[in-house]
A and B are shown apart, each in its own frame.
Chain A
Amino acid sequence: MTASIKISLQTAEKLYSSPLGEDVIALAPVTLEIVSGELVCLVGPSGCGKTTLVNMMAGFEKPSAGVVTIDGRPVRGTDPDHIMIFQEYGLYPWRTVLGNVLFALEAKGLKGKEALAKATEYIELVGLTKSKDSFPHQLSGGMKQRVAIARALAVEPSVLFLDEPFGALDAFTRMYLQDELLRLWQEKRPTIVFVTHDLDEAVYLGGRVVLMAPGPGRVQKIIDVPLAWPRDRIGDSLAHYRRELFKEFHLVHQQAADVASYEI
C-alpha cells in the first residue's frame, strides 16, 4: 500500500476513577492504524468506548496510557486540521447558515471576500445555497447537519471525525446524508473516522469497520469491507459483510450474556 499512515494508536487506553476511587476501564488498550484518506467506522453498543476512542483521536480527551499520533505527531489537543462533527450539530443559533460557516473560516484567519467566497462555495457543495441566510432553528435536522458538514469541510481539514452524526435523524434523511457524506469524501478525500451504533450504517459506509464491545470498552474485531463506493444497499456483496458483522456482534452479545450469568 502506497498511502501513508495518518492516525496511529499504540496501546492507547482510558481509565476513569470511580466515586469510590477505583480505576474504571473506559477503554482497554487499543492499537490501530488508519491510512490517509481511509473511511473507518467505529461501531458498537453504548459503553463500548467508541466515543472515548474518537475523542482521544480528536484531542478532546487524553489517553491515560499509550500514544495517539496524527501525521506522526502526538495529539496534544484539538486541531483545526482535525474537525469533529457532533450529533447535536453544534451550530450557533444566533448566526445564519452563512455566519456559522464564516465562524470557522474567521477562526482560521480568513477575512472579508476570501472568507465569504469560501463559505459560499461550501454551502453550495452541501446544497444549501437557498438557505444560506436562514437561522438554524428554521432548518430541519438533516439540513442542520449539512451545515455542520459544510462548516467542517470549509476549513479543509485532513481528518474528519463524526460522532454519531446521523443518530438523531429519521431513516430517510439518514440514508440521504450517508450518500452525501460518501460523495463529499470522494470529492475531498479527507481521512474519516465515523462513530455509529448502527451496524448497517457502519458496513455501508466503512472501508473498514472496527467492532467494539463493552464491559470493559475494547476493540472486538476489525472487519475489512473491500467494496467500491457507491454500494448497493440491498446487494449480495454487501449482505455478505453485513452477515459477518452481525455474526461477530452476536458473539459480543453472547459473551456479555455469559459474563452476566456468571456474575449472578
Chain B
Amino acid sequence: MSAAPPFVDFKDVWLAYSDELAARNDFAIEDITLSTRDGEFIAIVGPSGCGKSTFMKLATGLKKPTRGSVAIAGQNVTGPLKIVGMAFQAPTLLPWRTTLENVLLPLEIVEPYRSSFKAKREEYAARARKLLATVGLQGYEDKYPWQLSGGMQQRASICRALIHEPKMLLLDEPFGALDAFTREELWNVLRDLWTVQRFNVILVTHDLREAVYLADTVYVMSKRPGRILATRQIDLPRPRDLEITYTEPFTALVLELRERIGSIRKS
C-alpha cells in the first residue's frame, strides 16, 4: 500500500439496524475494516443477504455505524455525502422525464449546480449530452425511459450517477438484470468511464467474473452477519479486454473466489 491517505477507510465497523437489534447482538455487518487508495476500483462479492447493500449505505453516510468509524477522503462520515453517485439494479429513471432530463436531475439538487441551474441549463445540458454520448446514447437524449431497452436505461442511470462528477461511484448490482451480452458491453462502458475519470468505485455484485474483470481489489463477504472473509488483489494487467476473461489467470482467479464462497455456503 502506498503512503497516500486512504480514500475509503472503514475501521472496525459494526452496524445493527436498531438499538434493540444491537442489544441482541444481531448485526447486519460485523467488524469490517478496509481501506482503498484514491481512484481504486473495488468490488464486493458475497451471497444474497450478506450485507452488501448495508455496506453501501455506510459508505454514503445514509446509515451511521453502530460501532467503529467510516471516513471518506479523510473526513469522518456523519451525514449523506454529496461527493457520491449511486446506481442500482433497477435503473429508477423517472418516466415523465426524458433521458436528458433524468441525467440532469442531480444538478437540480446538489450544490453548487443547484443555485446556477436555471442560468446555466444549456451548459449543463451540453455536458449531459456529452456524457450520454460516451456511453453510446447519442440520439436518445430526448427519448423517454420506457422507449429505451433495459441496457440503455442502465447506461442512462450510470450517467445520472456521474453527472455531478462525484469522487465516488457506488454501484449495487447495476448489471444484475441484464442479459449476458449487454452486461459485458456495459462492463466496458464502465471500464472506459473509470479509465478516463478515475473516480473511486465500490461495485457490489453477485457476479465473480464481473468483479475480477473490473476491480483492482475484490472483497468476499460472508452471509449475514456480513464479515469480510477474504481480500484478493486482482493484478491482471490493464487495460483489460473481454478476451482476458477466457484466459487461464482470469479463470483461476474466478475459481479461487468461487471456492471461498462455496466454503461460506457449507459453514
Partners in one complex: no
Task: Give chain B's interface residues, CB within 8 Å of chain A.
Answer: none
